[in-house]
Amino acid sequence: MTTSARVIVPIAAVVIAVIVVAVFGFLQQPTRVYNRELLGECNVSWPPELPVNSSHRQQFAVLLMRPNSTARICVGYSSLTPSSMQLNLQTAVIPLGHGTAGVTLSAKPQNLTVPGNNNGLSPTGVAYAVFTIELANDSKGFYILKLPGFCPTIPFAVGYSAAQVNSTSFSGWLAGNYACGSETRLLQGSYMSVSNVDVAYPYSY
């Protein structure tokens, strides 16, 4: 074997080893997860209550909250595109009919980086956020909760039991009068867990 041949073999072996390590590392890389610690602010997995029975009619969930309490909703965001997305967590609470004041909403963090979906391959990545709803002593009514990445928007009631909630209270929501945000084409929000939130399932449309 010539001197040049003796040099080429070790170099080739090193190159192959580097490629193997790189590929193995790619396959084993952990899922990109941002702000996992925020999940500690919500202590009940979603949904907190399952429907007692089923119906052939389409169902929808209404979040139930109590006056003079603080409710939290922890959310996981996933991108629908290969690129990461900078998301400003703008929120809104829309009262329906006789909904009173005394409901305030905040988001943490205010701005969120949602990792790209890795071209649909695993791992895709997720970014977490928590929404806090402060409810005053006299807050009562039916509302629409608009969170980024959720389509349709989210109905909730304050100061009512599950038996007092029906489709009439949310007729405008059921008619599609509350548009989704444009960012729902680029990302998706999913409930992860909640605190001080119950749920009703009106089987009536």
Residue 8 has pLDDT above 80, yes or no: no
CB 128 within 8 A of CB 74: yes
If we measure between CA atoms, which residue out of 198, 194, 66, 72 comes closest to residue 136? 66
Pick from 22-36, 49-63, 166-180: least confident: 22-36
The predicted structure's pLDDT at residue 171: 84
Mean pLDDT of 117-124: 76
pLDDT in tens, 150-160: 887 889 999 99
Q: Calculate mean pLDDT across residues 88-94.
A: 89
- Sequence-ordered alpha helix ranges (H) in the chain: 3-28, 171-174
Instruction: Please give the span between the terminal C-alpha atoms of the chain, in angstroms, as a whole number.
Output: 83
* Segment 69-92 mean pLDDT: 91
Higher pLDDT, 174 or 66: 66
For residues 22-43, give the mean pLDDT.
69
Q: Which candidate, 96, 75, 113, places its Cα nearest to that of 156?
A: 96
Confidence label for 201 from pLDDT (cuts 50, 70 and 90)? confident
126-135 and 33-34 as β-strands: parallel, antiparallel, unpaired?
A: parallel
pLDDT at 30 over 50: no
Q: For residue 68, what pLDDT is reported?
A: 95
The helix or strand, by DSSP H or E, that contains position 15, with its residue range, turns out to be helix 3-28
pLDDT higher than threshold 70 for residue 9 = no
Q: Is the pTM of this model over 0.85?
A: no
**11: which DSSP letter?**
H
For residue 98, the model assigns a pLDDT of: 66
Which two structure tokens, joined as six digits, stand for 150?
């959720």
Q: What is the mean pLDDT of the chain?
A: 79
Alpha helices in 90-200 (DSSP H): 171-174
Distance (Å, whole) CA 198 – CA 72? 11
Q: Report the pLDDT averaged over residues 39-66.
A: 76
